[in-house]
Amino acid sequence: MTSSETPTDRPARGPGTSPPPSRILAPWILAVAVVPPGWLYILRTVRWHLTSSAVMLMICWAAIVVVGYFAIRMALSAASEDDASWFVVGRRSDELEREKRSLLKAIKEIEFDRDVGKLSAADAAVLMTSYRARAIEVIKTIEVEAGSAVTVREQILAEVRARMAVDAKVKKKTKKAPVSAPVSAPVSAPVSAPDSVSAPAPASDTDSVSSAPESSS
């Protein structure tokens, strides 16, 4: 995917991209608007006696409208333009958020169990330390990921800057604890994300720098 295909000046869309509101609003309003006239027609035919058979016919009419509306949309979406961001955008940050939330919940659970008496204070403290450490790592990761970039171009620039900074840091310092700055850009080829709660792998900087050109293409 070359940069020419991705307009970098368009505001970056978050997860769950959908066409701008005005394009969906019209069709379904139209569909809903078609329903009452049909109902009125049915009621008129039964001389306004709201019998169960009349209600059934009204349900049938609403169902017909539903069928028509979604069938048309089905055909249209099969023929619409490709939206490459469907499978990719936002996965990474979503996962991180979830991981963070589950860690927080785990910490709260430990606190609660300790208060209620199921865990001793000592056991709880030990567990909390490790959970808290991981939670902090995740929070840091989320911060780096999210940044404050608004457009896609700015996001890419921010990523490149961050990568260069990390590169410089590693070159300066010799033995430092591995920085867990991830290097995959949000808009990139699908990366398979880790699917379990595990310790973040230390970023191998040379790998990431060399793979950067491929992953951001």
Footprint of other proteins on 8-27 (CB under 8 A): 15-16
148 lies in the site for other proteins, by CB under 8 A: no
Question: Please, which residue, 40 or 71, has the CB nearer to other proteins?
Answer: 71
Question: Please, which residue, 134 or 163, has the CB nearer to other proteins?
Answer: 134
CA proximity to 91, closest of 145, 143, 128, 50: 145
The single-letter DSSP state of residue 193 is P
Q: Which stretch binds other proteins (CB under 8 A): 1-9, 107-115, 162-170, 178-186?
A: 107-115
140 lies in the site for other proteins, by CB under 8 A: yes
Shortest reach from residue 29's CB to other proteins, in Å: 17
40 lies in the site for other proteins, by CB under 8 A: no
179 lies in the site for other proteins, by CB under 8 A: no
CA 180 to each of CA 116, 135, 202: distance values in angstroms, whole numbers, following the listed order: 36, 13, 6
Buried b (16+ CB within 10 A) or exposed e, 93-128: beebeebbeebeebbeebeeebeeeebeeeebeebb
- Which residues 42-81 are close enough to bind other proteins by CB under 8 A? 48-53, 55-57, 59-60, 62-71, 73-75, 77-81
Question: Please, which residue, 21 or 206, has the CB nearer to other proteins?
Answer: 21
Residues 6 or more apart whose CB falls under 8 angstroms from that of 150 comprise 11, 12
Half-sphere exposure of 105 (CA within 13 A, CB side): 6
